[in-house]
Chains A and B, each alone.
Chain A
Amino acid sequence: MQKLLLSLTLITLLGWSVPGQVQSTQTSPNVLSELRSADVHDRAAAIEVLSSMPAEAVPEGTSRALADLLVQETQLLESVLRKSNGTVGLSGQYGESYSEYYSEVLGSLERLGDKRDQRVLEALAKASYNADSSFAVKIATDYGENILPMVIDLSQSDLRYRRMQAIEMLGTIVSNCTALLPSSANRIRAAVLEALSDQANGIRLVAVQVLSRVGTEADIPLLEKIAKTDPDISKMPDGKNRYFIREAALEAITKIRQQSAK
């Protein structure tokens, strides 16, 4: 028993490290400079320190430093996509854990960022995320009207994946933001209808999925046309063909009819 107690004390004194976790050995004054470090391991360690720090103990300037870091990481993500023409992402270029690190930065800014600061909101709204994630639903619910111009701006990106995310996010905003102005809802609708005729298959698919949530009976003829004529075709491993956009259009028609019948 004494040996066990001695071992536990030694482990505590020497510092317990969990394999695979980023070491958290910094003190708070270093955190801001570490967030600006050129070494990603330093930045990840600073994020780890912040994640375990109570909000009131976080150093002044952290919100802006995190927003700058997220913007920097998002620019890196976009530059990797541009260089590879969309075939290599962050995890392909720097290892899959870079993607986890990116999410940690996003999560830290969501938790500690001052949302009254436009730069913070813009960094969050234009970050990379799934538009159906709980993060996206939360910022759409709380700041939908404020982030709408940023998401509309993202929907004009030269990168297809970013435009797909933006169109999907417009649907998340219109479905969750109860304080949305009628003019904003019309703006979203116009952007989604425009996306229905995009050259990129993925954008047409997410636009149809959004229309299933925000569309009215007036949209059914257009959806019927998509369900019959959309050219996107996918060959499955079993040799069968799937028409995902046509399938989504049929689902959208059913959903809109069910909504109208209520």
Chain B
Amino acid sequence: MVVVVFRNLLRFLQRRHGERIYPPAGADGTRTNYGSPLTTTAAYRCPDKQNDINSRALYDSRHHHGDAMDWSSSSSDTIWTSIKNAAKYNYACVEPLAQSTNDHVHADWRGICPTGW
């Protein structure tokens, strides 16, 4: 009981500060479904870091919200497709290949996906 209350309080405080230190729900399932280790190239980004990357961004990055992961797909179309399938099986929104290229898979768990993701 105490643990549950403490955990929920921690999550509440993290959300309040726009932070999520844990991997998003669905990331573990993606790895299990994929069946091999995944190399994470980006996860949560603090606002300062996000601003360094693109200060004139049109929209908020999901990395800033802490619900996005980028996984390396080693410039391979088959690895990209297999990671994408595993992430979508775990209800992720996945940026299409022609937009991200086979360099990495961008997956996030924002709930309602952008059109075509």
Contacts and interface: CB of A to CB of B under 8 A. Distances in A.
B77 to A, nearest CB: 3
Given A77-B99, A236-B37, A238-B36, A160 B77 contact: yes
Interface stretch (A3-11, A61-69, A94-102, A143-151): A94-102
Contact of B58 (A98, A160, A201): A98
Contacts of B76: 201, 234
A153 B35 CA distance: 35
B48 interface: no
From DSSP, what is the main secondary structure of chain A's interface residues? Answer: helix
B61 interface: yes
Interface residues on B, range: 35 or more
Contact of A244 (B60, B82, B94, B114): B82
B51 to A, nearest CB: 11
A86 B102 contact: yes
Contacts of A193: none
B78 to A, nearest CB: 4
Given A92-B103, A100-B114, A205 B77 contact: yes
A256 interface: no
A140 B36 CA distance: 33
Interface string B84-107: 100010000011111111110010
Question: Which of B53, B79, B115 is the most central at the interface, judged by chain A CB atoms within 10 Å of its CB?
Answer: B115
B14 interface: no
Interface residues of A, number: 63
A242 B82 CA distance: 11
Interface stretch (A27-35, A103-111, A170-178): A103-111
B115 A135 contact: yes
B21 to A, nearest CB: 21
A165 B59 contact: no
A90 interface: yes
Contacts of A99: 95, 99-100
B39 interface: yes
Contact of B75 (A41, A87, A110, A130): A87
Question: Which of B80, B97, B103 is the most central at the interface, judged by chain A CB atoms within 10 Å of its CB?
Answer: B97
B84 A130 contact: yes
Interface of B: 35-39, 53-54, 56-61, 64, 74-82, 84, 88, 94-103, 106, 113-117
